[in-house]
Amino acid sequence: MVKSVLVTISTLIVALACGQQGDKFDGATEHAATIIYDGVTFNPIRLDINLGDVVRFENLSSDPMWPASNIHPTHEIYSKFDPKRAVAAGDSWFFKFDRSGFWRYHNHLAPNISGLVVTNSSGTEQDVEPLPFPKADTTFSKARNLSLEGYQDLYDSEIELVKHIQRYGPAQTVEALHQATDYFNADCHQRAHVVGRKAYELFGAAAFYLSSHKCQAGSYHGATEALFRDRGTADLQDDVTTLCGYATVLFYYHQCIHGVGHGLMAWTSYELHDALNICEELQTPRDHLACYSGVFMENVVGGLSGSMGHTTTFLSDDPHYPCNILAERHVPTCYLYQSTRIASLFQWDFTTVGKECSKAPEVAHHHCFRSMGRDVAGFTGGDAHSSIERCSTVIDPTNRSYCIEGAVQDGFWDASGADKAAEMCSLIEDIHSQFACYRTIVFRALELYETKSEYLGFCELVEVGFRTWCRNKDLSSR
């Protein structure tokens, strides 16, 4: 009797080790696509299927495997995509993909071995509810100034960050992240991404009008990333129309579309070409460009790579990669963030960054040197004198002006940055670069201010020699 029980238990253990086998899915397994695991890789490493298709994961190695959704070890991105146990050598596991998207997965027993399943919803009916955009019935307490330790906690502790969002709201939380940069060096843009993602989890689409444009609109970018992780792109244009409808001025609308690009890059699991193609589903060429810019920024900065369990493969030691492998229409926008990658490769030596931007295709010089200027402003903490000095290392006067343009616009994201932007322009001695500086902030002001009186108030900050030109610009032409 004891021997019989032991045999039964042994058989059960072997069966569990073999993984899920023979799932029928209403008889669909005979048409299943197959991914083979050989102990070294999954083959094919990327499989494109239709929504509702079944995939067979066949283990032809000599060891058990455990194919499961990212993130390792929790598999939380697509939690159903997990056999919950190992699949023995020579055995198979079947899984029906009932969610459209880009599903990065790995061998749980050897997580460095990974693959990608892309589920295409084209031609398949999907029950996608319109994105609700209710006015959240939420009031928040007035935030108080924090101690140095309190500011640090917002950066170091996710628990403290969420508590602050719940009590004071997303906008005041982003403001606190921005205030913290007065006390220590911190990347408030990337931390604001986290605020946006958490705000979406807490408040849904209302996160978009509860957030703030401080920290270079990072909270909007993060909320968009969370939305695509939640809903995918089945209703892309309608969702974008709802999301970006909060924007009262053109600049904030473009920032919203830029955030869509961030979200698409993350949602496609950092498949650069796929994300760019989806950007082109938006309505206008200008929307395409704004979306591209978010894709390329996400590729370089990787603000969501940790929570998606995957980092981009579209970076290398080549300072011009991936811009040098793209279709011509994408090259200029690619360079709008490529200088950040170049600077990191050359230890933030901006003389070298300028030389590399000079090697970019001429059509991309404006974008690369403006990108360099933005990086200069970030590196100097927005100090006007230091930013001008570093841009002055660029020999060509036109490219030097582009660098100045990037540096001055970096701090002018809302009306509070106007004084500092105008001050920087006034410090520039080279008339060519000074005109480029004023032109940049005037056109930024045209996008930022809602009323003519507000805009004319901004023009009073401009030097007398440029003031009439500023006043004659027409808000209605934006």
pLDDT at 392 over 90: yes
Q: Which domains does the chain have, with CATH numbers?
A: 17-120 (2.60.40.420), 229-477 (no CATH)
**Could you read off the pLDDT of 195-221 as tens digits, one per residue?**
999 999 999 888 887 888 788 888 988
Contact 407, 377 (CB under 8 A): yes
User: Is the pLDDT assigned to residue 21 strictly greater than 50?
Assistant: no
pLDDT score for 18: 39
Per-residue model confidence as pLDDT tens digits over 180-196: 998 998 889 889 989 99
Q: Where are the alpha helices (DSSP H) in 105-235?
A: 148-156, 158-180, 188-203, 207-210, 214-231
Nearest one of 73, 74, 55, 70 to 109, comparing CA atoms: 73
**Does the structure show a pLDDT above 70 at 68?**
yes
Q: How far is CA 347 from the centre of its chain?
A: 24
pLDDT category of residue 348 using cuts at 50, 70 and 90: very high
Percent of the chain with pLDDT over 70: 89
Q: Which of 160, 169, 165 is nearest to 140 (CA)?
A: 169
CA neighbor of 181 nearest in space, from 216, 129, 208, 220: 216
Contact (Cβ atoms closer than 8 angstroms) between residue 304 and residue 297: no
Q: 383: buried, middle or exposed (CB in 10 Å: 19+, 13-18, 0-12)?
A: middle
Tell me the β-bridge partners of 96. 54
Rounded-to-integer distance, Cα 204 and Cα 131, Å: 9
Q: Would the pLDDT of 229 be above 80? A: no
User: Does the pLDDT value for residue 20 go beyond 60?
Assistant: no
DSSP-derived secondary structure for 237-255 = HHHHHHHGGG--SHHHHHH
pLDDT at 285 over 90: yes
pLDDT tens sequence across 142-184: 998 999 999 999 999 999 999 999 999 999 999 999 999 989 9
- Dihedral (Cα; 9, 12, 14, 17), 10-degree rounding: -130
What global pTM score does this model have? 0.79
Are 202 and 223 contacting, i.e. CB atoms less than 8 angstroms apart?
Answer: no
pLDDT at 6 over 50: no
425-to-219, 384, 415 alpha-carbon distances in Å: 29, 9, 16
Residue 55: pLDDT band (50, 70, 90) is very high
Instruction: Report the relative pairing of strands 42-43 and 33-37 from DSSP bridges.
Output: antiparallel
Q: What percent of the chain has pLDDT over 90?
A: 61
The per-residue pLDDT of the chain, averaged, comes to 87
Please give the pLDDT value at position 106: 92
Q: Is the pLDDT of residue 3 over 50?
A: no
Tokens 């540096």 correspond to 407
Residues paired with residue 59 on neighbouring β-strands, in sequence order: 37
| Mean pLDDT computed over 388-406 | 97
Instruction: Answer left, alpha or beta for residue 63, where phi above 0 means left and psi between -120 and 50 means alpha.
Output: beta
Residues 6 or more apart in contact with residue 237 via CB below 8 angstroms:
281, 282, 283
Least confident of 118-127, 183-192, 232-241, 322-331: 118-127
The predicted structure's pLDDT at residue 308: 58
pLDDT at 53 over 60: yes
Tell me if residue 394 falls in helix, strand or coil: coil
Average confidence (pLDDT) over 55-63: 97
Predicted confidence (pLDDT) per residue in 255-267, tens digit: 889 988 988 888 8
pLDDT over 70 at 17, yes or no: no
Alpha-carbon gap, residue 146 to 436, rounded angstroms: 39
- CA distances in angstroms from 134 to 9, 82, 241, listed in the order given: 55, 35, 14
**Is 140 strand, coil or helix?**
coil
Distance of CA 458 to the CA centre of its chain: 32
SS3 content of the chain, % helix, strand, coil (to 5): 55, 10, 35
- pLDDT tens sequence across 105-151: 999 999 989 999 999 876 554 556 777 655 556 789 999 899 999 99
Q: Does 92 or 450 have the greater pLDDT score?
A: 92
